[in-house]
Structure 1
């Protein structure tokens, strides 16, 4: 059976709940909720399992904290013997406006600590969905911004992108990265609207 690992990046703990840096967790939570998947506390992370048309899908929210995310990703790839081409990592990105997203088959970490650590351990040849959180912060305040919570108005902008993120996970598993990029990246530039 084909196996897939879908990783949402974030930090565990109530103090990080609904923060911009936890957008990866939020996409996975939305996917889990839509599919009635329950996360269990396992080694290096919270793991949920489901299957889509005969393909086994593991959802992973690393419990390692962001800058050690690679430990969790590498462990679960090895443990379940999942090919790296079937790995999708979802992260926040300050370089992309809030509510927009980019799906890429590989590439640099773009200065993201979580992606950076994954890259150190497994290289940069894996798919990633970068969810825009915007960069509306004064110089030198990036850390406060990414660890800050979303406001109600921001969530209205973000929610359509999170909903599309759920669709992207399904498409990645069922159709593959190339088709999924072709189908969704143009939507990502419109801020998640299907117009």
Structure 2
């Protein structure tokens, strides 16, 4: 949960993207089976579902501490979009390094990067798509922004606030509750739909459909 260090801040050049450049879709989480069902790992859960949809299996990334799946999203033919799905294998607070390495290797414009992450300040299961903005205390976003600037897309997956006096760090590193797990598959599926809509239809139409 420490802040990332050692990465040069860059200001994203908001130029017209290369039409052949892929989208880099990053699920944020912590590696290892002990974290797999944590609230903080919902980004990994959505990335795993997207990998199933494109028919790929995660494998070690070239020149980055991450796992990746390459595929296409959208209807068959020219309307589909090339994507690289990624799960950084650093810890959450060091996500920026692997993401920048993947961005550079695949030559992805910063505005075609999507971070999928848990969000404390919206209700459980609520989704919010946005471009740019602050990190709201999220260490994965903080590391990414320090490494490459803020001008990337985010899919915020609401997990709600911790109950009572529970510390935020304890809350996000606990598994979803039994009651939450009853709806988790539905919400993860909807989040994957939102990412697909963003990539194939654009931010405005995806926000209209999924920002509940």
Normalised by the length of structure 2, the TM-score is: 0.83
For residue 159 of structure 1, report the CA deviation from its aligned partner: 2.6
Residue deviations 1:74-122 (CA, integer Å, cap 9, x gap):
1111111111111110000111111112111111101100001111111
Query: Which residue in 2 is equivalent to 1:143?
Result: 169
Counterpart pick for 2:71 among 46, 50, 61: 50
Report how many aligned residue pairs link the two structures.
186
* Alignment RMSD (CA, Å): 1.4
SS of the residue 2:160 aligns to: coil
Query: Which residue in 1 is equivalent to 2:12?
Result: none
1-side partners of 2:185 and 2:124: how far apart? 10
Query: Which residue in 2 is equivalent to 1:157?
Result: 183
- Say if 1:27 and 1:165, in contact at 8 Å, map to a contact too: yes
Query: Which residue in 2 is equivalent to 1:73?
Result: 99
Bigger shift: residues 54-63 or 134-143 = 134-143
Query: Which residue in 1 is equivalent to 2:38?
Result: 19
For residue 73 of structure 1, report the CA deviation from its aligned partner: 1.1
- Say if 2:29 and 2:41, in contact at 8 Å, map to a contact too: yes
- Say if 1:98 and 1:157, in contact at 8 Å, map to a contact too: no
1-side partners of 2:174 and 2:80: how far apart? 39
Q: Which residues of structure 1 form unaligned runs of 5+?
A: 190-195
Query: Which residue in 2 is equivalent to 1:9?
Result: 28
Query: Which residue in 1 is equivalent to 2:76?
Result: none
Query: Which residue in 1 is equivalent to 2:147?
Result: 121
2-side partners of 1:182 and 1:105: how far apart? 14
For residue 136 of structure 1, report the CA deviation from its aligned partner: 3.0
Q: Which residues of structure 2 form unaligned runs of 5+?
A: 1-19, 74-78
Structure with higher Rg: it is 2
SS of the residue 1:131 aligns to: strand
- Runs of 4+ in structure 1 deviating by more than 6 angstroms, as ranges, are none
1-side partners of 2:24 and 2:148: how far apart? 14
For residue 54 of structure 1, report the CA deviation from its aligned partner: 4.4
For residue 184 of structure 1, report the CA deviation from its aligned partner: 1.3
